[in-house]
Structure 1
Amino acid sequence: MNDEFYNRGLEKARRKDYAGAIEEFNHALQLTPYFSEAYLQRGLAHYDSGAILKAVSDYTEVIKLNPESVEAYYCRGLARVALKNLSGALEDVERAIRLNLNYAAAYNLRGMVRRKQGYIQDAIANFKKAAQLYLEQQDKENCRLCLERIKQLQPPEKSPLQESHSTNAPILSTNDYFTQLLEKAEKGDTQEALADLNWVLKADPQDAQAYCCRGVVRCKMGDYREAIADFNQALQLNFQDAIVYRNRGKARSALGDHQGAIADFNQALQMQPQDPLVYIARGNTYRAMGNHLDAIQDYTQALQINPDDAQVYYNRGIAYTCIEEIQNAVENYQRAASIFCEQEDWGNYQQVLSSLEKIQKFSPESKKQKSHLLRQRILRMVGGYWEIAERLIQHKQDYHPGMSDEWYLQKVIDDLERDRGR
């Protein structure tokens, strides 16, 4: 009887009556709860009807019943792509390929996943493998589709007379793709991001946005001269964007060309007058030049746009210290420390406290400020219950009489961190 329900479900699915098919597969599974093919076909019906999560659930049931089901892994990978779970999709499709090295559809799907992840060369390699397998299987239509996908990712052949100065629609120059590469560099994968950008520029040497992105990556790597060359190339190709001037300014400043850097930052601000990153970068350059008043002005402007940037408060505190406005410096350090404390960024938090210690001799208030910050940190560590914090401090005072208030506070912090295994 369950075969009858199952076969009716297949027939209804062929007629695209997915609701009816699902109902038939439900009946089949009520009679035979371990009917893996019924789960698979119900998953396909759920997928075709748009119920992707239910499809994933059914495919997972198939895998539980039959861990060697190549089709279940492939189908779940396809569904996970629809859910934008690319890492999960990649894991499924790779399992399918390990189970069947000649599964053309799996290579095709892996190519699509890798393309979405920004790994263009890997995507092309997978589409080529899929096309080869489809051709061997005499599936000319799917082979043709794979070749079309490869063609879309590869640059067109250019004749010597063809004009190449246009940057309206460069190959691979999508904002999403370059954003992925910059995020990769931000996470520390600068070499991999650089390799991808080199490939893009080999494919299309006129891709101005790729030059800009490669310049940003090279800045992160400390290769400032090469970065400037890339930014110059982007500008020659008419990629007029504030990010080019901002990052070229940072590179020029790092090389000691402060005046050139200021000129670039000024140009960037003409394009994006509300970009706090430009004010910060220009402020840092002014500070490196010894122009602390203009640096303070730029940091203040940046904080008006983004009032929660702890690093800018810290930089402004340094600038105030340099012109011996100690109280303003202390206030900025305190604000920076408070934000770092809230963010639990203890490395920077400690750096700020060290700066407070260094200017302690100039301001009797700074010691009080540091004590206040230490108390704030203890309060956070005990969940906001000051009675607990007071008992801990009193305990240290009883066992170690005669020490400074700061010593007791730091001792409590050290003990709490040790107890938490930090």
Structure 2
Amino acid sequence: MKFIQSFILLFLISNSVWSFQVSNSNQAFELGMLAFENQRWTEAQSFFDQWIQTHPTDQEALWLRGQAFQNQRNFDRALSDFSSLLTLNPGYAEALFERGRVRYQLQQYEEAMSDFESFLKTPPGETTRILFKIAPGDNAVSSVTTAQTASEEDAYYHLGLCSIELEEYDFALLYLDEAILLNPSMADFHAEKGRALARLGDNVPAIESFEIALQLDPDHLPAKQGLALVKTGGDAIFQEQLNQVIADSEGNSQTYKQRGFYRMNHQDISGAIEDFSIAISMDPEDSESYFYRGKIYYRQKNWGKAEADFSDAIAIEPENPDYYLARGQSRYVSENLEAAVADFTIVISLDPEFASGFYHRGITYQRMGKLSDACPDLLEAKNLGMDEAGKAREKVCK
């Protein structure tokens, strides 16, 4: 009799525990969602673990748990969840995008590119899907949005990032330009374009890209760092890498140009001239090498050689106002004033918002004694934000 009573009691207890577990399992998804929405990633993952044990093909649970792993920087487990989800549903566009980002973090750049390209070919899913946007390489959650935030420009941006890591900088520029065309207000897009341009040795447009990024976001740290490195030619480690490439006889015109730019900004004038000259001999169609060498000759007060180099740069790239400005300055200091005015006038025609063009034409007119022409130019330069022009006008135009 006691045995039967004990058996009945054990059965009731077991049944109660089983009922409690079933109830817990049924609530696990809702509890996981609540934890997920409050960014309690470990807790959310634990609840989704329970749910997925009994619902291994639940796509939404795999999607959310994958993001929970991603936010814990457990990229291997996130990759596993997104891959399982895509096996169940190859058309789950947002999972393609997120798997691409996870693969980028795992340095699987070619596989990541494949995911981003597939994402671009796949229509986005329901806008009720939750997506936490995280900057590449950063664990900070920047915003919580619907899944449609994983947009075309984001995919092109990440394709650009992967191409930079693969040292395919020309392709990176194509992807980043596409991202910028779709959304020109993203500082990240312009900063990464600057990075790709700097790696190619195209320092002037790289500086422009970094400056655009800083106009959009004055606190954008990568843009600040990139701008500082480009303006100084890179750091010492970068210089050593260039030296090694050249020593191994693997250097091309860009390598010499980059080292020349570094040397120019670290007062190794003869070394910089030598590097730019080699770069020109290897690629006589690269206008920047002439421009930089011309700037060194200008510093040396070798006006004739400076003007010749600036003229060669202009012949290759006749729409660049910086080149005309540089040649005009060289002509000004060598007292070829009429020719200087002609160059500054071209600067203004190419870029009517370029304050320096009006300023330099104004001071050239002033030196020629043409105050009626000088004063309007100096006023225009002042109105465009150039304080130095306002001071000059105070002295010249009273």
TM-score normalised according to structure 2 size: 0.51
Query: What does 1:15-414 align with in structure 2 at a 5 Å threshold?
Result: 21-23=58-60, 25=62, 49-51=92-94, 55=98, 77=105, 88-92=135-139, 116=165, 177-179=199-201, 183=207, 186-187=227-228, 190=232, 192-193=234-235, 195-204=237-246, 205=249, 206-340=251-385, 348-349=386-387, 351-361=388-398
When residues 90 and 236 of structure 1 are mapped into structure 2, their CA distance, relative to the original with a 3 A threshold, is same
Q: For 1:271-294, what per-residue CA distance to the aligned partner results, in whole angstroms no more than 9, with x for missing partners?
A: 222222211110010011112211
- Whether the 8 Å CA contact 2:242–2:259 is kept in 1: the answer is no
State how far apart, in whole Å, the 2-side matches of 1:293 and 1:323 are.
Answer: 9
SS in 1 for 2:301: coil
Query: Which one of 41, 45, 53 corresponds to residue 7 of structure 1?
Result: 53
State how far apart, in whole Å, the 2-side matches of 1:116 and 1:28 are.
Answer: 28
Shift of 1:324: 1.4
- Whether the 8 Å CA contact 1:283–1:299 is kept in 2: the answer is yes
State how far apart, in whole Å, the 1-side matches of 2:256 and 2:326 are.
Answer: 21
Aligned equivalent of 1:155:
none
Aligned equivalent of 1:104:
none
Aligned equivalent of 1:132:
none
Q: For 1:174-210, what per-residue CA distance to the aligned partner results, in whole angstroms no more than 9, with x for missing partners?
A: 8562358764674256264454144134124432211
- Tell me the amino acid that sits aligned with residue 90 of structure 1: G
Shift of 1:225: 2.8
Shift of 1:88: 3.8
When residues 26 and 282 of structure 1 are mapped into structure 2, their CA distance, relative to the original with a 3 A threshold, is closer
- Tell me the amino acid that sits aligned with residue 356 of structure 2: Q
- Whether the 8 Å CA contact 1:209–1:239 is kept in 2: the answer is no
State how far apart, in whole Å, the 2-side matches of 1:267 and 1:240 are.
Answer: 9
Shift of 1:28: 9.8
- Whether the 8 Å CA contact 2:348–2:357 is kept in 1: the answer is yes
State how far apart, in whole Å, the 2-side matches of 1:28 and 1:298 are.
Answer: 62
Unaligned runs of 5+ in 2: 1-21, 26-48, 67-73, 117-133, 141-160, 168-195, 208-224
- Tell me the amino acid that sits aligned with residue 51 of structure 1: E
- Whether the 8 Å CA contact 1:320–1:328 is kept in 2: the answer is yes
- Whether the 8 Å CA contact 1:279–1:299 is kept in 2: the answer is yes
Q: Report sequence identity in percent.
A: 20
Q: For 1:289-341, what per-residue CA distance to the aligned partner results, in whole angstroms no more than 9, with x for missing partners?
A: 1122111100101211111101111111111111111121111111111111x
Q: Which runs of 4+ in 1 moved over 6 A?
A: 26-29, 73-76, 79-84, 112-115
Aligned equivalent of 1:122:
none
The number of equivalent residue pairs is 246
- Tell me the amino acid that sits aligned with residue 330 of structure 1: C
Shift of 1:23: 3.7
Shift of 1:226: 2.5
- Whether the 8 Å CA contact 2:62–2:82 is kept in 1: the answer is no
Q: For 1:36-77, what per-residue CA distance to the aligned partner results, in whole angstroms no more than 9, with x for missing partners?
A: x9x957666578844159859xxxxxxxxxxxxxxxx97894
Unaligned runs of 5+ in 1: 13-20, 30-36, 57-72, 94-111, 119-173, 341-347, 362-422
SS in 2 for 1:187: helix
- Whether the 8 Å CA contact 1:214–1:227 is kept in 2: the answer is yes
SS in 2 for 1:51: helix
State how far apart, in whole Å, the 1-side matches of 2:97 and 2:253 are.
Answer: 44
State how far apart, in whole Å, the 2-side matches of 1:117 and 1:335 are.
Answer: 46
State how far apart, in whole Å, the 1-side matches of 2:166 and 2:397 are.
Answer: 51
Q: For 1:236-278, what per-residue CA distance to the aligned partner results, in whole angstroms no more than 9, with x for missing partners?
A: 3345311111221111111111111111122222222222221
- Tell me the amino acid that sits aligned with residue 219 of structure 1: M
- Whether the 8 Å CA contact 2:63–2:82 is kept in 1: the answer is no
State how far apart, in whole Å, the 2-side matches of 1:244 and 1:261 are.
Answer: 12
- Tell me the amino acid that sits aligned with residue 178 of structure 1: L
Aligned equivalent of 1:413:
none
When residues 248 and 185 of structure 1 are mapped into structure 2, their CA distance, relative to the original with a 3 A threshold, is farther
